Every structure is written in C-alpha cells, then in structure tokens.
Chains A and B, each alone.
Chain A
Amino acid sequence: MELPAIPNRIETITAFKQNSGMIAAVLPIHYPRSLFRAFDVLPVEVWGPPGTDVSHGGAHLQPYVCSIVHNALSFLKKGGLDLADFIAVPHTCDSLQGFGSILLDFVKPKQSIFPLYLPRGNRPEDLRFLTEEFRQLYRHLSGLTGKKPSEEILLRCIRREEKADDLLRQLYEKRQKVSLSNYSFYHLVRTREYLPAETFISIAEKVLSRKGFDNPKGTAIILSGIVPEPMEVLTTITELGAAVVADDLACCGRRLYASGKSEQPFRRMAERILNAPPDPTRGNSLEERKQYLLRLADQTDARGVVFYDVKFCEPELFDLPRLRAKLKAAGLPSVQIEIDLNDPLSNQIVTRIGAFLEILG
C-alpha cells in the first residue's frame, strides 16, 4: 500500500520559511524539537546526508571519522546548509563534539552554532543537568530571535511533539496492520527528521486509519544501528524474504520518546530524552541494551538482529562484540554489517544479510 503524499526536505523548508519561520540544521541524535518550535524554528536533521561529495570535508578530517560527520562538513562547505539559520550539534559522540568545535573555531559558518551537551546516564543530577542545558538553549535562541515564548507556549509545543511521538509509537505497534513495506514504513518514520509535528500528525493519522491486514511476510528480524542507508537495503531485505518487525536504529526506534510527566517545560523535555529506549550514546549499559533487544524480539517474534552500523562509529561499535555475544548466549543470533554513507549497497552486504537469513532458516 502506498503512502499519502509527503513533502520532501526542501519543500518543507521552503514552505516553512515562506511563513516567516526559521530553520535549524540539527546533527544526530537527541535534541528538544519542541524548544526550537516554540521559537518558530523548524529543526531539520542532517544525517550526513548520504551521497555527498566528501572532498570538501575529506580535506580537513581524518579518514577514520565517520561518514556522517565527513558528509555533514562537506555538505556545509558546499552550501547545502545555506537555507539553515542555525546549526545545532548535540554531543552524541567524540566525532560530533569535534565537529561542533571545528565549526565554532575554524569553519565559522554564517549560522549560529549551538553545541548541546547530553548527560551519560539517567540519575537525578543528569536530569538537572539536561534541564539546565535546555534553559541555556532557550536563552541562546531568545537572544538570536528576540522572542521569549512563555511556559504555556513551550508546553503546547511539547504536547504537540508528544502527540506526534505517540502516533509514531502507534505506527510501530500497528506496523503489521497498516500494510506498509519495509521501505515505506521507514520512509514514513524518517519524516520525523524534518516534518513539522503537525504535518507528521496529519499523515500518521491517515495511515493509521487504514484497515490493511497484510502481515509482513518472511523471516522476522530487528534492525539495529544508526541509519538505514542506502534506504534500498530495506527493499533488499524484503526481496531476501525477511520483514523488519522492530528496530533499534538511532534515527528511528531509539527516539520513541514517551510523554514527560513534569509540568515544568524544560524538565519535561529532559525527561523525554532521558527516558528514551536504551542508546549507547546516552550511556546505557550493555545489560540494558541486551534486555531491551530481547524484549523487542519477544514482543515481535523476531528471530535475529541485523546490526547495521556506520563505519568508525565509536559508541556504537565499541561494545558490539560483547552485546552480540550476550544476545547469542540468550538465543538471539545477530550479524554485523558496516556501511559508509557514500557507498551504494554492495553485493557483499547483500550476501551477508542473505547468509544470515539462511542461518535463521
């Protein structure tokens, strides 16, 4: 079943700016969408993008820096972020923190840069730290835009994002009943990277109102890692006879943020991020990740995990051998695949996925 018409990034940015809105280019992974929206700034995420001419970034960065950062620098230097008014760089990993520093100290683009520091834990002091970090971002945005959105506006924006995320969660829960292919499902999920929440809500409600009952066919698998690029891999998985029934992807399932509890807006935004599914970039333990993946497999009858990672992703790859060993010991087999955002889907990757599916039988 096809998706309703969905505007692409450029169309979305253009339309938003025509209505006097501003754009923040945001690097992965976690940040408070609602805070930007309270200032009439649309956050548009930059996961590379794939297929960028990396010669601009390659001249400045070490070869072992991941392709998300390589591409982002190249994209910026060749004008790809010219439509953005701000650039936000969460401290997701050393490479992205380094990217933020490079922008501030050397590249000095025309846009204001917001580094965003994230705590590595979920203790009370982590919540206090992140709450204060968001207050700081508020002051920064206020200084640049001249706006001072009230707590009421902030809470309204938070609730709108919470509604969008709740619909996203429903899509995940009902994915087997909304008759979307692997590719279409993730195409829709990934529009959260740039669509305003209200637009996403309208599209998600249309899809959820459908009454399709074509259960995904084939071997049920979980897709883990950072970003499913090239997206063609999802079609290939279908062709190889498998269905992605759940994911632990940084750009998708790890951002199934639950609603916050606090009525204090900055604290509520922080609660939402700190209570998200386990993520190595937020310091979750191996045991938490293992339990989460086993629970996902149990809930969805998934028979294996494909770890689909970007090469040189330090937080993702460091613990992977131990995580895979723990899952294997618990009866959940996995395969590890590494990609570069600029490479087409190779025969070797297809063979690895195919061989893994043959193991699963």
Chain B
Amino acid sequence: MEEVKALGIDVGSTTVKLTAVDAQGKLIWHHLEGADPRVEDQVDHFFNLMREHGFDGKELPMVATGYGRNLVEQAEKKVTEITCHATGVYNQLGHGGTLVDIGGQDSKVIIIGENSQVVDFAMNDKCAAGTGRFLENTAGRLRVPLDRMGVEALSAAEEVAISSTCTVFAESEIISMIAHGVEVNPILKGLHRSLILRIVAMIRSVGLVPPLMLSGGVVKNPAIREMITQELGEQVTMPEYPQLMGAYGAALIALKNSNRA
C-alpha cells in the first residue's frame, strides 16, 4: 500500500466510512460499517483498525464530515457533507454538474461548478421520504432483500402508484395493497417511483446542470439509476465507490490543508 497521507471520516446516520489517501489524493484504503450511536467508541475502534493495517491514524491529518462530525475529536477540521461530497465526486469523475447523493436518512442535490466548488444545494427536510430509509422500511414489509429491491422493481411490467410520500403511511398503504392481492414487484416499482419523484423535485428546486452524477449507498440500486434517467432524460454517471464520496472528499480536504501548512 502507498503511504497514507490523510484521512477522511464520514459519520452518517446509517453507516460510518473512513478513507485514506496517498500524497496524490488517490483513495488507497477504506473501511465502512454500520453507524453506532456511540460515535466516540466507534472512532476509537477505527483507529485500532488502522493500526492493524499498519498505519497510525492519530499521526495523520483528518477531516470529519456527516451528521456526527462534531463528535470526532481527533479530526482537525469539520466540514459539511455538502462540500465533502462535491470534492470527492469532482476528484473521482473529473468534472462538475449536478450531484444527487441519496443516503440512508438524507438526500442532497449539489450543483458543482468548475474547480469543484459548490454553487448551490438542496437537502431533504426532516422527513425520510426520498431517502434510503424509505426503501429499507418497505423492503422489510415486503420481505424482499434490500439488495434485490431494484432488480425486482425493474422486472415488473406494471407499476402501482404509491400515494403516500411519508415512509410510515407508505408502509400502511403497502400492507393494504398486499391484503388486496396486489403483486409485490409492481408495488416495488411504485415505491421507487415515489422516491425518485421526491428527488426530482429537489433537483428542480436548484435547477439541473448536466451532467447528472449519483452518489450514496442507495444508488447501487439499479432501479434508482434507471428511473432517475427516465424522469429527467439525462444519463447518469457514478464514481467507483459511490458510498465513500463524503469520506473521500474529507480526506482530500485534509490532504490539501496539510499541504498548505
């Protein structure tokens, strides 16, 4: 492994991601696991992991991002996930445009300008509609594994309209549909459509600037990618590690700051 020069940690609501970059800003190591509400303990555990992999994280510059960023005492700087995602994706894909990041409990649309700067952004409000949690909750109800949801949804010829955008109400709606004998896959397709329409509304609120880029764990779902293309008529591009872009951007900022110092 190349020598690690900087670290980025993204303490999200669903997962925590740690990335390490070399002197050129190349992503050379990462670790991802489910979020523990005791953030400090989880960060200590991450530092132990780094030692096991042959480098001492405490000696390295680190930037923290995500909702738990302020709880990472070891980080020399805290930067919002908006800026970090923009930085990470820009460096991975090499251009600006409109980035849609769909995370576990929040979604954001970020307009990235030349030189990776954030031009504008929108985030979902308090409710979980338009986020990964919306699909996760309903996947449980439909007894479909999360990683199969997109494939199953795309296989459906029919689509059932889900009128509730609220995660909890959508769940009740689905239970009622199943009780009335509606097939699972058309429901899944309708669920994806409901989520995508929320995302599309957010994109329109800031104005789409092509190309359209996706990040976040949820975009591994193929139905998300296909439906967003259907709705907007724009092809989407994705970085190699869509789920790590916040942490990667944080590491790049840490690297840049250390080079300045």
Contacts and interface: CB of A to CB of B under 8 A. Distances in A.
A358 B81 contact: no
A351 B81 contact: yes
A351 B246 CA distance: 14
Interface string B98-139: 000000001000000000011111010110000000000000
B209 interface: no
Contacts of B169: none
Contact of B80 (A328, A338, A351): A351
Contact of B123 (A321, A333, A348, A359): A348
B106 A355 contact: no
A121 interface: no
B80 A354 contact: yes
Contact of A351 (B67, B117, B120, B205): B67
Nearest to A352: B123
19 contacts: A346-B126, A348-B106, A348-B123, A351-B80, A351-B81, A351-B82, A351-B123, A352-B123, A355-B80, A355-B81, A355-B82, A355-B118, A355-B121, A358-B80, A358-B82, A358-B118, A359-B117, A359-B119, A359-B120
Main secondary structure of the interface of B (DSSP, over half): mixed
Contacts, number: 34
A348 B125 contact: yes
Contacts of A355: 80-83, 118, 121
A347 interface: yes
Contact of A358 (B67, B83, B106, B125): B83
Which of A328, A338, A346, A355 is packed against the most chain B CB atoms within 10 Å?
A355
Contacts of B121: 355, 359
A348 B83 CA distance: 14
Complex A-B, nearest 9 residue pairs according to Cβ-Cβ distance, in ascending order: A355-B82, A355-B80, A358-B83, A354-B80, A359-B118, A351-B80, A347-B67, A358-B80, A355-B121
Contacts of B80: 351, 354-355, 358
A337 B2 CA distance: 43
A343 to B, nearest CB: 8
Contacts of B118: 355, 358-359
B60 interface: no
